[in-house]
Structure 1
Amino acid sequence: RQGSINSLKLQAFQLFLRAPSTIWYRNACYQNPQQGSQACPAQHPGLWLPASDGGCAYHQLLPPAGHIGCKLPLCVFLRNGPSQGSNHRKRFGKNNVILSDIRKPPNNVFHSGPFIYSDILDYKNLREIVVNNRITWLVHYSALLSAVGEANVALARSVNITGLHNILDIAAEHGLRLFVPSTIGAFGPSSPRNPTPDMCVQRPRTIYGVSKVHAELMGEYYHHRYGLDFRCLRYPGIISADTMPGGGTTDYAVQIFHDAIKTGKFDCNLRPDSRLPMMYIDDCLRATLEVMEAPADTLSMRTYNINAMSFTPEELAQELRKQMPELEVTYNIDPVRQAIADSWPMNFDDSNARKDWGWKHDYDLPELVQTMLNYLGVETRMAQAN
C-alpha cells in the first residue's frame, strides 16, 4: 500500500437508529498486482480495483470545490446491517472503513474492523476523529426517525440539528466531502404528492422532516459560502432484511415480512390505500455510492430525489400472498403515523438524478418481495436449526 486510505465514518446516536450512522474513509493507494511496484500518480491517491477484463484499474475522483490537497478515493457506504459492512470491508480492506456509534454494535460488526465510540453532540471528539484519522469523506446518518422524533422532540432537535451543525463545521474546516441523507419526510401536506419534484414547497409537519429540510438548506449554504462538497439524496422508505424496524412510518413494509414468516399474520398501522415511495436497501447503497462518486460538474443541484417503486400496504400484501397465500392482514390505524403518511409524497420524481448522474434502480415490487422472503427464510431456518 502506498499512501493512506482516508476514512468515511458512520456516527449513530442511541438505540433509536437502525445502524451506526457515520462512516469515515481514509485516502489510499494500492499497488496494481499486474503492474508490480508501480506507484500511485503523485498527489493523486486512489484505489486499484478489479476491472471487467479480469485485470485491475486505477480509480480517482476530482476534488470538491474549495478542497485543498489530494484527490479523493472511491468510498464504501454502509446504511443498514452488519452484512453490508462486512461486504464493503472485504472489498476495500477492513482498516479502510471506521465505524462509530454511541453504543457497542453486535460482535460481528465490532470485530470486523476499526470502531470508535463517539457521540454526535461531542464536537471536540468528532473533530479529533477527523484529524487523527486524516478523514476525507464523511457520511452522516445520525437522526431520530419520524414517529420516534415526535415522541421526543427535544432529543430529536439536539441529535438531528445540533449534531448536523457539528458535522457541517468539521467538514467545512477540513475540506471533507460530506453526504447527508434526506427523506420523503422533508415534504408536507402542501407539497405536490404524485409525483413530488426536486424543487417545490416542502413545509413538513414533523421534527424529523423539519430537521431534514434544515440539513438540505444548510448543506447548500455551506456549499456556496465555504465551498463544501455537500451531497444529499432524499430517500424513499428503505426496506432491508438486515435489521428490525426502528420507528419510521414506512417500517410497516419491513415488519410485514418478519411477521408473515413467523406467524402468518400482520397487523398494519396504516390504511390499506396509503401509497408511499419505497426502495430496497441494495439500490439505496448503490445510489449513495454513485452520487458520491459523480464528478462535481455533473451535479446540477445539491439534493436529489431518488425513487424505485411506490406501493400501498394492500398492494404489498397482495404481492406477498403470491408466495404465502394464507397470509392474514388486519389494519389497526395509528393516527400519528397515518397523519405523517398522509402528508408525505406518494411518488418521487427522480428524473434529475437519472439525467445528471445516471441513476437507475434494480428492484421493483416483485423482486423486492422475493429477495426479502429468501433472505429472511434462510435466517429463520438457521435459527430453528440452532
Structure 2
Amino acid sequence: MPALPKVLVTGANGNLGHALLPQLFENYQVYTLDRRTLDPSLIPQVAGFFKGDLTNPAFVFDLFSTHEFSAVIHLAALLSRDCEDDPFYGHQVNVNGSVNLLEAASRTRFETKFIFISSVAVFGLDPQEKPFMDLTPVEPTGIPVTAYGCTKRYIETIGKFYSRDRLDFRALRLPTILSPNHRPVPGTSDFLQELVVQALSGLPALCHLRPDTHLPLITLPDAALAILHLLKTPRAHLHQTTYQVQSFSASVQEFIDKLAHHFPDFHPQFFPDSFRQSIIDSWPASLDDQAAATDLGWSPAHDLHSALWDYLVPATKDLLSR
C-alpha cells in the first residue's frame, strides 16, 4: 500500500485547525507547525508536530530540507485586531513568515501544493459604491483599510509569482467565520457570536454595527470543507490562483430577526462602533463564489437558518453549559 501524502498544516491550534485536522486524518499524513505545543486533543490525528517560529528563516528552511511535504496548508497568521495593535509584528508574521514558507516550499525537488488562507479583508471598497454592488469580482478593488488586509493582499499577489515555477500556489479567500468553539472576544466581526451568546443567556444585548450592515459569512465546517476542496482539486482544473467562498450573506438585522423568532425577549440595542463599522463597510456585501463552484465543486452545507439552528445555537448552548 503506498504511503499517504504528507501535509504540513501551520497554525493548527486555531479554530480552523481543529475543524480541518479530523478531516485530513484518514487520507494524509498530517504534520503540524505552531509556536505553541499542539493541543492534546489533536495529537491522535497527526503524524508529527514541529514547534517553531515561521519568522525564523533558518528554522523554516531546515524543516523543508529534512522533510518532504506534498502540500502545505498555511493557516497561521496574526489576526485582525492584533495586526492593528502592532502592524510591525503583523508584517513579520503574516508577510515575512509566509514568504519564508513560500520560498522554502519552492526550493524542494518536486512541485508542492501551497494552500494560503486569505480574507475578505483584502477588499477596500468605497462605502458609497457598495449599495450598487450585488456581487464582487475575484480581483479585489480599492486599498485594504486594515494592516491585516494589506498583509493578506500581498501574499495573494506574491503567491502568483511563486506559482510560475515549482510551487502550486492556491489562495482561499474566506469571509467572517461563524464558530461556537470559543467564547467571543471584542474583534471586528465577533459581534455575531456575541449576539448568539446574549440570546441564549438572556443578557442585555448590544450590537456595535448598524442593523443594515450586510456581509458575507461562512460557518467553520463550511470553511474546512472549502479548504479540502481546494486541496484535492487537480491543478489542471484550476483557472485562477485565488478563490473565494461563502456559506451565505446576510444583514445584521436578518441575523437578529432569525434569533428573535426563537428568543422573543431578544431585543438588541444598537451602538455602532465607528472603527468596526468602517472596516466592515469596506468589505463586499457578498462574495461571488461561482468560480469555486465551477472549478472546485464547492457547495456550502449551511444557509442562515441551518447555520443558526443546526450549528451555532446548539453548539454555543453546549459551550455555555460546560
The answer for the alignment partner of 1:146 in structure 2 is 80
The one of 93, 98, 103 aligned to 1:164: 98
The one of 98, 113, 135 aligned to 1:195: 135
The one of 328, 352, 360 aligned to 2:267: 328
Distance 1:337 1:129, change over 3 A: same
Residues 273-304 of structure 1 show CA distances to partners (whole Å, capped at 9, x for unaligned) of 11110011111111111121112121110001
Residues 238-297 of structure 1 show CA distances to partners (whole Å, capped at 9, x for unaligned) of 111223346642221222223332344432222221111001111111111112111212
Q: Which runs of 5+ in 1 are unaligned?
A: 13-18, 22-77
Q: Is 107-116 or 163-172 further displaced after alignment?
A: 107-116
CA distance in 2, matches of 1:154, 1:181: 20
The one of 79, 89, 100 aligned to 2:16: 79
Highest Rg: 1 or 2? Answer: 1
Give the percent of matched residue pairs that are identical in Structure 1 and Structure 2: 25
Q: Secondary structure at the match of 2:262?
A: coil
CA distance in 2, matches of 1:241, 1:151: 25
The answer for the alignment partner of 1:207 in structure 2 is 147
CA distance in 1, matches of 2:166, 2:86: 34
Number of aligned residues: 314
CA distance in 2, matches of 1:92, 1:200: 34
CA distance in 1, matches of 2:285, 2:253: 14
TM value normalised by structure 1? 0.75
The answer for the alignment partner of 1:25 in structure 2 is none
TM value normalised by structure 2? 0.88
1:249 equivalent to 2:188? Answer: yes
CA distance in 2, matches of 1:104, 1:200: 36
The answer for the alignment partner of 1:217 in structure 2 is 157
Amino acid at match of 1:332: F
CA distance in 1, matches of 2:256, 2:17: 24
Shift of 1:367: 0.2
CA distance in 1, matches of 2:204, 2:33: 37
CA distance in 2, matches of 1:314, 1:137: 41
Alignment of 1:80-159 (within 5 A): 80-81=17-18, 84-86=20-22, 88-89=24-25, 91-92=26-27, 96-110=29-43, 113=46, 114-159=48-93
1:353 equivalent to 2:286? Answer: no
Amino acid at match of 2:56: D
The answer for the alignment partner of 1:237 in structure 2 is 176
Shift of 1:183: 1.2
Amino acid at match of 1:134: E
The answer for the alignment partner of 1:56 in structure 2 is none
- Kept in 1: contact 2:55–2:96 (CA 8 A): yes
Q: Secondary structure at the match of 1:79?
A: helix
Amino acid at match of 1:10: V
The one of 13, 24, 32 aligned to 1:20: 13
Q: Which runs of 5+ in 2 are unaligned?
A: none
Alignment of 1:266-285 (within 5 A): 266-285=205-224
Residues 89-136 of structure 1 show CA distances to partners (whole Å, capped at 9, x for unaligned) of 3x347xx21222112344323565432211111222223333433212
- Kept in 2: contact 1:264–1:328 (CA 8 A): no
